[in-house]
Chain A
Amino acid sequence: MTKRVHVETRINGREVDFLCEPGQSLLEVLRDQLHLTGAKEGCNNGNCGACTVILDGRIVDSCLVLAPEVEGREVTTIEGLAGPEHLHPLQQQFLEHAALQCGICTPGLIMAAKGLLDQNPAPTEEEIRLWLAGNLCRCTGYDKIIRAVQAAAQQMEARV
């Protein structure tokens, strides 16, 4: 058996450590060891975006990140977005706009959209479409997702 690696990191604001095989992906560790199953596996090769998480402020496909790479870094997953009694504006607006049907791509899309709004608080439709082009949704045709992101941007703008 391959020798396992000890990794210390921060996930959703809390110190976390785990043992993993050097070749294991962050997605595998999140799902199978840490039971953070909000990140989904749709393709396991970086083409669908269902496993999107935020790593040091940047969105990544967690299936393409080796788990040992997150040593000393900061990971945010969909589980880290809502407070105990309130949802993030993106989560709220996805619900208000019926921007999900089956919901499997939703965590990845919300994390990707958060990555966008964190650096561009008022994106145009074109900017949203370009940014989210790495996240496949097969149910919605994207229309309501784009509108939900626009509404969330407005809600966050109003709050500032």
Chain B
Amino acid sequence: MVTTTRPSEKTTHKVIGTRPIRPDGVDKVTGRAIYGADVTLPGLLIGKVLRSPFAHARIRNIDTGAAERLPGVRAVITAADLPDPDKGMADVGEASATYRDLSHNVMARDKALYQGHAVAAVAAESASIAEQALALITVDYEPLPPVLDLVEAMKDDAPLLHEDLRTNELGTLSDKPSNIAAHARFLKGDPAAGFAEADVIVERTYTTTMVHQGYIEPHASTAYWNADGKITIWTTTQAPFAIRDNVAVLLNVPVSRVKVIPTEIGGGFGGKLPPYVEPLAAVLSRKSGAPVKMTMSRTEELQASGPTSGSRTHVKIGAKRDGTIVAVEASLAYEAGAFPGSSVRFGSLCMFAPYDIPNMQLDSYDVVVNKPKVAAYRAPGSPAAMFASESALDELAERLGMDPIELRLKNSAKVGTRMANNIPFQHPVGNVKVLEAIRESDHWRSPLPESTETRKIGRGLAMGFWPNAPLKSSCFATVNPDGSVTLVEGNPDIGGTRASLAMQLAETLGIPYEKVIPQVADTETVGYNDATGGSRTTFTGGIAVYELGQDIKQQLIERARILWQLNPEDAIVYEDGTIRGPKEGQQLSFDQLAAQLFKTGGPVVGRASVSPKHVGFAFGCHVVDLAVDIETGKVEILRYTAAQDVGKAVHPSYVEGQIQGGVAQGIGWALNEEYVYDEQGRLVNASFLDYRMPTSLDLPMIETILVEEPHPPHPFGVRGVGEVPIVPPLAAVANAISHALGHRFTDLPISPRRIIETLYP
């Protein structure tokens, strides 16, 4: 195995750092695990959505009469069947939306704002009847000019998506309608004075297009609206509690009337945070009196579920001849899609976070266009922004004749350095260590293969930053008479978190991993949990199971006191799964005490609810070698190494897996993936054949270096690991191609077509 771990201190852990088999593993390799579309119920109806063929159109009238009369059709709905909520802010993970926008995104009200925008839905006795019914619905559209380009959308005379949208201009609402939802700014020091001191300035504009999260399991939800008003929803989601809360507001019912049962989830990457079909299935169920299942097709996924923003970023860096960066300026514009709420501010926050730069001005613009409303996508906002900043740094290193690692080390942020938002790094961060790890790696020290006439070789390097999100977790656990512990938690397991939470609880209690039995519970069984997202489940969930473990230990000590008939002041210690009394030889193992709980007061149930303040910031540094075939424009990835500060790797295999998966998505974003729209705003590549994600043949093995700079506020030093690895590949790949061809590529994807058009203009 080419994976290297660089622990910062000698570990005394027994469970953490090992690689056990995940508790849900057998169900997932035998096909028995129940995912969203696998749910079935007696009397189940199938729901389907009618979607707008226009990117921008007023809806004059919808005639559902013929569809309603088709035998086998049990319900037809339009936006008229949904309440119209107010503008309160909804929780959709690492993105933002008002309830009203969320509702209008779930079902178009007066206007269809992108191709694929839902306009009506039916429930029928079979999928084929539902599809026939959709064809019988007549919608009277008045097509409007679509707004598809960021620069055009921002112009004063651009057609408007929302007549009532006014720019939030640096905190003040402007008086004129616009497609620019918000202009925000981070300002630090005096950029003009900084640039005046610069010996070298690099400046360019970088662009990316919309790309999709590309989870293999489409959205799938089944809802049953019972006669007593109770709504039960089985759904594939990263955020069961947010879905519960959002559905309650969107349907104007109390939260207590909605129960969400999360199924196993087939990938999300941020795309399974917002509601899409859940509210529609619920309303169809109320109207038909039967449970309704809705699954999205792949085309619907690409057209109408959240991709991430296309972007345009202008960046300017000024430096002294010795490499000291004196000032940066950047202006970022992100497509929000049809409704405001892109992650552009996160992008501007991240782009220079690894560095200590005295003067910065970072402007960000959130812009609506006639494309699907964006959702979070793994480190949302950071990849496109850091594609720009890390490409610009690479160019700066070139201009200065400096090694790209040395340039980054020279300007590294350290404890006390303030980010663009003026928040300082309060705890040790791993930005220097990941650079050093790459500098010392076999990959960086190995020479590149020679280029040939037609095959040009290049190496590229880039860093990535993501702050991670701690948010809230709660859980409980019961000690069973055989010494096992049943853990009930609330985060859908998207990549091995049953294992990572069970391991942290086992470590806390000093019992074997196999003795912890984790369950992912529904919204009426466990306390509130924020989403599986923000790289938070192993981090915040880990703090929760640690606190829960302390609660259980304290209760077990009191049970031993009863058994041993000791006084409250007698010292009893719990150590490594053994409970010891003050007398010589007075001790009980966890199992022995667990077997005697019923005669000392009944079962022991521990609980915890946590909301940690100090999240562990995540840094990565990647290096890639690649070959460009200048006859076909095809890029072959030859070697890839990713170093990341993981704090403490709880289950190293799944940490490596997160890094490797993020790298693969980042390479896809850099080289091939893109939303291609025609002039009418129709997505012309809405299938996995034409929306080209990396296959096994497109990638080499991905080497990982796990740097462990512990995050002190976490009991085991853990940092979130899931998101940051998607950030560096965009610039790393672009930098490598730029070196291979001696031409700087500033627009993604760097597809064969773009390379050929650049080489042979």
Q: Tell me the A residues contacting B by CB distance below 8 Å.
A: 21, 31, 35-45, 47-48, 50, 77-79, 81-82, 87, 91, 94-98, 100-107, 110, 125, 128-130, 132-147
Contact = CB atoms under 8 A, between A and B. Distances in A.
A102 B653 contact: no
B298 A43 contact: yes
B696 A142 contact: yes
Interface in B41-73: none
Interface stretch (B213-221, B240-248, B412-420, B587-595): B213-221
A77 B269 CA distance: 28
B729 to A, nearest CB: 10
Contacts of A142: 660, 664, 695-696, 699
Interface stretch (B17-25, B396-404, B535-543, B614-622): B17-25
A97 to B, nearest CB: 7
A63 B443 CA distance: 42
B267 A133 contact: no
Contacts of B651: 98
Given A103-B264, A104-B35, A42 B217 contact: yes
Contacts of B494: 101-102
Contacts of B215: 102, 104, 138
A129 B636 CA distance: 14
A97 B696 contact: no
A139 B661 contact: yes
Contact of A38 (B31, B297, B693, B701): B31
A132 B696 contact: yes
B562 interface: no
A31 B21 CA distance: 28
A47 B238 CA distance: 25
B661 A141 contact: yes
A129 B701 CA distance: 11
A110 B695 CA distance: 16
B752 interface: no
Interface of B: 1, 19, 21-22, 24-26, 28-35, 37-38, 40, 128, 213-218, 264-269, 295, 297-298, 494-496, 651, 653-654, 656-658, 660-665, 687-689, 693-697, 699, 701-702
A138 B661 contact: yes
A104 B19 contact: no
B217 A98 contact: no
Nearest to B662: A141
Nearest to B652: A98
A50 to B, nearest CB: 6
Contacts of A143: 656, 660, 699, 701-702
Contacts of A87: 26, 29-30
A79 B31 contact: yes
Nearest to B71: A1
A95 B216 CA distance: 20
Given A38-B32, A40-B35, A139 B267 contact: yes
B688 A140 contact: no
Given A37-B37, A40-B266, A139-B267, 16 more contacts: A38-B30, A42-B217, A42-B266, A43-B298, A45-B687, A48-B216, A48-B298, A81-B30, A94-B29, A95-B22, A98-B653, A102-B494, A102-B495, A138-B267, A144-B653, A146-B701
A41 B298 CA distance: 9
B30 A130 contact: no
A101 B657 CA distance: 8
A11 B658 CA distance: 36
A91 B30 contact: yes
Contact of A129 (B213, B657, B697, B702): B697
B494 to A, nearest CB: 5
Given A43-B687, A138-B215, A95 B21 contact: yes
A82 B34 contact: no
Nearest to B496: A101
Nearest to B25: A95
A78 B26 CA distance: 12
Given A104-B216, A136-B688, A145-B696, A82 B653 contact: no
The dominant DSSP class at the B interface is: loop
A57 to B, nearest CB: 20
Contact of B298 (A31, A42, A135, A144): A42
A37 B38 contact: yes
Nearest to A98: B653
Nearest to B129: A1
Nearest to A109: B696
A52 B543 CA distance: 40
B657 A102 contact: no
A106 B28 contact: yes
A103 B266 contact: yes
A105 B216 CA distance: 7
A135 B216 CA distance: 10
Contacts of B689: 45, 47
Contacts of A31: 37-38
A47 B688 contact: yes
Contact of B29 (A37, A100, A125, A130): A100
A139 B265 CA distance: 12
Contacts of B664: 138, 140-142
Contact of B266 (A95, A102, A134): A102
Contacts of B657: 98, 101, 139-141, 144
Given A138-B269, A142-B696, A104 B217 contact: yes
Contacts of B33: 103
The 4 closest A-B pairs by CB, nearest first: A38-B31, A104-B266, A103-B28, A141-B660
A82 B218 contact: no
Contacts of B35: 37, 40, 104
A124 to B, nearest CB: 13
A82 B654 CA distance: 24
Contacts of A44: 297-298
A42 B36 CA distance: 12
Interface-centre pick from A43, A50, A94, A105 (highest chain B CB count, 10 A): A43
A44 B297 CA distance: 8
A44 B664 CA distance: 23
Nearest to A82: B30
Interface-centre pick from A40, A104, A130 (highest chain B CB count, 10 A): A104
Nearest to B689: A47
Contacts of B295: 41
A38 B29 CA distance: 9
Contacts of B268: 102
A48 B694 CA distance: 11
Contacts of A39: 31
Contacts of B699: 141-143
B22 A98 contact: yes
Given A136-B688, A138-B215, A144 B660 contact: yes
Contacts of B24: 103
A22 to B, nearest CB: 12
B696 A128 contact: yes
Contacts of B31: 36-39, 77-79, 107
17 contacts: A36-B31, A37-B37, A43-B687, A47-B687, A47-B689, A78-B30, A82-B30, A87-B26, A95-B25, A98-B653, A101-B658, A128-B696, A137-B696, A138-B661, A138-B664, A143-B660, A144-B653
